[in-house]
Chains A and B, each alone.
Chain A
């Protein structure tokens, strides 16, 4: 299905964070969340179902790190394809044909510019992951949390080989105005170059709290007619009594939803620290907007 059809009836709610949700279910800090697709699949399925239940109309797969290069750091490089197929199957089952599944493809974690990995190696890893996600039956692919345009383009090229729609999302968390990626890419440059390279939608995720996303969303919207994907964090965590706490509440998060819609967001969800409660609150905010529009 083309992405345009997904958003025919207005902004579409995506899901919230997976890593923090898996930690609540016992994932050790520093352990590989993607491996749970193989060894604790029921816990992963619970997270997927919790987002469907909260009102997500697009859910992701628990495969953010499941490229052979990133997995090698965990000593799990050989399991990349299996983890992706399993991740796709888990999300598809939770979606049960009612919501869409976008396969998550994150960065390699290695810097091309420093020669830590090569273009060929990265392309191979992304192609293997995209292929396995497609085999697992995802509806689209999401290349996310990118800061290097060159790496994003390699992932996009690999993802496009599957014939599925591809969304490419960047993390704008650098510079004085926090409107650049770590590699210095602006929203305009990201949108222009990634659309030219054949993406079906462009977006921003992770990094900042939701307030900073309104201007970034507007700039992406102005730079491209394509759908805009927006997934902010629940702010930055603080240490409270020896534990890390995200200070942004679901209500505070949802309060920004109208501004994001106004700024042109077509997909809205949450990144690190957001939970099904955030998605429920955002769902109510979206419903309020559409009932106002209908009245």
Chain B
């Protein structure tokens, strides 16, 4: 089963799917596969990213391998009655069409075991509000690349407050021009400097909730 761990760590999607298949056939517990092998592999990917042994390409390949193996295992998890993980609504804020950073964070969150509802790019505040209500999300992740659209993060948080759902979610912000200082100023719950930090922060906020 360390094959599954290593395949994810090395970003080999094909090998990850094969290893997951073999493990399931050999009678491995699907939940144990995820918790003891796959999530730790993604944690190691995040650690290597933060140590600068890995960069975005390695991150994306690992997330893709994780996703491939998860697709195979998820139906068995559901059949076994496993708890769904925390739910994240993610999107690039209104006016910002740049979605590379958001896509990386979404992949890493998925790889980290979160259920990700991706609203896409240029998402108006009311769409975030509606998604939070409909999906009863635990977390909202807002992304902006442009300095000129950063203020849409503020309006989105205000819209969540006006709709009375601000207290039921944690709001994370990130993107090239965003800083911790800015996150504090607009009343976000956290700022992730990169995708690995975002996943770590998301876990911490969910655990504290």
Contact = CB atoms under 8 A, between A and B. Distances in A.
A73 B121 contact: yes
A157 B103 CA distance: 27
Contacts of A28: 95
What's the interface size class on B, roughly?
20 to 34
B122 A30 contact: yes
Interface string A3-26: 000000000000000011001000
B148 interface: yes
B177 A114 contact: no
Contact of A73 (B94, B97, B152): B97
Nearest to A150: B57
Contacts of A183: 55-57
Interface in A108-132: 109-111, 113-114, 116
Interface in B28-72: 52, 54-58, 60-61
Contacts of B98: 109
The listed residue with most A CB atoms (<10 A of its CB), out of B99, B122, B149, B176, is B176
Interface in B79-119: 94-100, 103
A114 B107 CA distance: 10
Given A176-B52, A180-B55, A236-B179, A30 B186 contact: no
Chief secondary structure at chain A's binding surface: loop
Nearest to A240: B185
Given A109-B100, A111-B100, A111-B103, A175 B148 contact: no
Given A19-B148, A236-B177, A175 B52 contact: yes
A288 B181 CA distance: 37
B52 A239 contact: no
Interface residues of A, number: 31
Interface string B111-139: 00000000001100000000000000000
A265 interface: no
A239 B182 contact: yes
A39 interface: no
A244 B95 CA distance: 16
A113 B148 contact: no
B24 interface: no
B23 interface: no
Contacts of A182: 55-56, 100
Contacts of B99: 109
A31 to B, nearest CB: 8
A116 B179 CA distance: 28
A114 B54 CA distance: 17
The listed residue with most A CB atoms (<10 A of its CB), out of B58, B103, B148, is B148
A184 B55 contact: yes
A238 interface: yes
Contacts of B56: 174, 182-184
B145 to A, nearest CB: 9
Interface string B148-163: 1111101000000000
Nearest to A19: B148
Nearest to B97: A73
Contacts of A60: none
B182 to A, nearest CB: 6
A176 B98 CA distance: 23
Nearest to A237: B147
A29 B52 contact: no
Contacts of B58: 184
A146 to B, nearest CB: 12
Given A182-B55, A236-B147, A239-B151, 16 more contacts: A19-B148, A29-B148, A30-B94, A30-B96, A73-B122, A109-B98, A109-B100, A110-B100, A113-B60, A174-B56, A183-B57, A184-B54, A239-B186, A242-B151, A244-B148, A272-B147
Interface of A: 19-20, 23, 28-30, 73-74, 109-111, 113-114, 116, 173-176, 180, 182-184, 207, 236-239, 242, 244, 272-273
8 contacts: A23-B148, A113-B57, A174-B56, A236-B147, A238-B179, A239-B151, A239-B154, A244-B147
